[in-house]
Amino acid sequence: MSSTQTSRTRRKKPVWIAVGVLVAVATVTSSYLWWNTDVLGSGSFCDGRLEGGDVRSALDSTGRVSQVRAQVDSSRAEFACTVERTSRFAGGEGQRITVKTHSEEGAFPFTTAVWKKPASRSYFKDRMTGAVSSTRGYVVLPESCWDKVGGIQGSRVVFSGEAPVATVEAVVEKGSADRAGLARLLTHSARQVAEKAGCAAPAGTDVPALAAPDSTRATDARNACGLPGFSLPEEAVPAGRAEPDREVVNNASAHTWACDMHLAGPDKAHLSFAVTTDRSFVEAAPKGIETFQTLPGGKGAATTDEAVLKCKDNNVYFTVRSSFEYDRALKGADVTPTAYVRVLKGTFQNFLDAAADTYSCPRVDLP
C-alpha cells in the first residue's frame, strides 16, 4: 500500500468513528425518550374516557403511559379503565391506576373498610364532592345521576341497594399518585360521565383546591382530636393494647372535619371520627345499610356509630369507625361482643357530646 493510500485510510477512520458515535447516541436517546418519557404518547385511553394529559398528571413519575385493560360500552356512561406508567431505566417508579364508575351506599367514605383513615385524605374544597390520597380517590356525581350511573361487574351494570350513590373512583394499584393530578383526572372524568349519562354535570371546569391534613401530633387524652373535653371511655383504651398516642386532624375544608386517632399497642389500632355538612352524605347516610332510629324531640336520627342531627344552620352528619386492628385489640383484652357494642356506643356518645357545640347541634342520647 502506498503512503498516499495509507494517509487516506487514516483520515477516514475518525469520520467512521464519529458516525458510529452519533448513531449510538441517537439510539440511546430514542430509547430513553420512548421508555422513560411520554413523548408522542397517546392523547386518550379507553375509548376517550381518560385524557392522556390527565393520566400523566396523576402518574407524575418518568416512563411511558399505556393502556392495560378497558371495559367500555360507547352507548353507556359506565366504564372501567386501567393504565400504567413504566420505565426501563433505573430510578423510574412503576405506577398503575384503575379509574371506574361505581355505585355506593350511604356515607361510604366514612363507614366502609375500603376507605380507611378519612383525616389522611385531601378533600375538595368547592364545586363538587370528592377527596384524594396518594393511593385512591373519589368524586360523587350530582344526585340526578345516582339512579343513572352504576358500576361494572363482569358484563353487567350494577347498582348498590335501593338508594345508590353514583361515583367515579380511582384506585392506585402500584406506586403512588400525585394528589392534585388525581383530583384533576377524577374531576374531568366525572364531568364526562355525567354528560354521557344525560344528568347534570358537576359544576365548574377547573380542578378544585384541596384541603390537606395537618401534620401528625401527640394526642391529648382529655382533649382528643383538638375537641375540648373529648376523651375515650376507659373501656375503649385497654392498657398496653390500645392507648391514645398520635393523631391526624383535617379541618381545612369548610364542609368536612376528620380525625384519625392512632393508638399505642402491638395491634397498631386506630379510630376515625368524621363530621360533614356535605349534602350528598347528609342525605345518603340514613338510606344506607345501617338502620337509623329517630331521636326524641325531632333532633335527628342515629345508630350506634352514625348520626344525622338537625342543627342550627343545617343538618350535620357525625360518625366513628373502628379499624380491624382496634377490634382485634379489644378482643385481645377479653372484651366480649356485647361489651364491644357498649364500648363503641360510649365512644361515639363522648364524641357527639364534645363536637355538638362546634356545629350548634342539640345534645342527644344515642338509641
365 in a domain, yes or no? no
Query: Do 69 and 142 fall within a single domain?
Result: yes
Q: CA 194, CA 357: separation in Å to the nearest integer?
A: 38
Q: Are 63 and 56 in contact (CB under 8 A)?
A: no
Listed residues 211, 238, 273: the one ending a domain: 211
CA distances from 300 to 1, 163, 179, 263 (A): 105, 19, 35, 31
CA dihedral of 256, 286, 294, 273, whole degrees rounded to 10: -30
What are 95's strand-pairing partners? 85
Query: Do 170 and 224 fall within a single domain?
Result: no
Query: Do 238 and 207 fall within a single domain?
Result: no
152 in a domain, yes or no? yes
Tens digit of each residue's pLDDT, the chain (367 residues): 555 555 544 555 554 454 444 444 334 434 444 444 444 355 899 999 999 999 999 998 788 899 999 999 989 999 999 999 997 654 556 899 999 999 999 999 999 989 999 999 999 997 789 999 999 999 999 999 999 999 998 889 999 988 999 999 999 999 999 999 999 999 999 999 999 999 977 666 578 899 999 999 999 999 999 999 999 999 999 999 999 999 999 999 999 999 999 999 999 999 999 999 999 999 999 998 889 999 999 999 999 999 999 999 999 999 999 999 999 999 999 999 999 999 999 999 999 999 999 999 999 999 9
Q: CA 325, CA 150: separation in Å to the nearest integer?
A: 32
Decide: residue 129, CB within 10 A, 0-12 exposed, 13-18 middle, 19+ buried. Answer: buried
Q: Which domain holds residue 152?
A: 44-211
39 in a domain, yes or no? no
How does DSSP assign 1-69, residue by residue?
--HHHHHHHHHHHHHHHHHHHHHHHHHHHHHHHHHHS-TT--SEETTTTEEHHHHHHHS-SSSEEEEEE
Which cell is 130 given?
370528592
**pLDDT value at residue 92:** 55
**pLDDT value at residue 62:** 81
Query: Do 237 and 192 fall within a single domain?
Result: no
Query: Do 206 and 97 fall within a single domain?
Result: yes
Query: Do 57 and 82 fall within a single domain?
Result: yes
Angle at 131 between CA 127 and CA 135, to 5 degrees: 150
Query: Do 183 and 247 fall within a single domain?
Result: no
Q: CA 349, CA 305: separation in Å to the nearest integer?
A: 9
By three-state DSSP, how is residue 196 classified? Answer: helix
Which cell is 313 given?
344552620
**pLDDT value at residue 30:** 43
**pLDDT value at residue 40:** 38
**pLDDT value at residue 205:** 57
Listed residues 194, 211, 228: the one ending a domain: 211
What are 19's strand-pairing partners? none
Task: Count the domains in the chain.
Answer: 2
Which cell is 280 given?
350528598
**pLDDT value at residue 246:** 98
Query: Do 228 and 313 fall within a single domain?
Result: yes
Q: CA 343, CA 292: separation in Å to the nearest integer?
A: 19
Q: Where are the beta strands (DSSP E) in 39-189?
A: 44-45, 50-51, 64-72, 79-86, 95-105, 122-124, 129-132, 136-140, 151-153, 156-158, 164-174
By three-state DSSP, how is residue 186 classified? Answer: helix
**pLDDT value at residue 2:** 53
Q: Are 150 and 232 in contact (CB under 8 A)?
A: no
Listed residues 211, 241, 275: the one ending a domain: 211
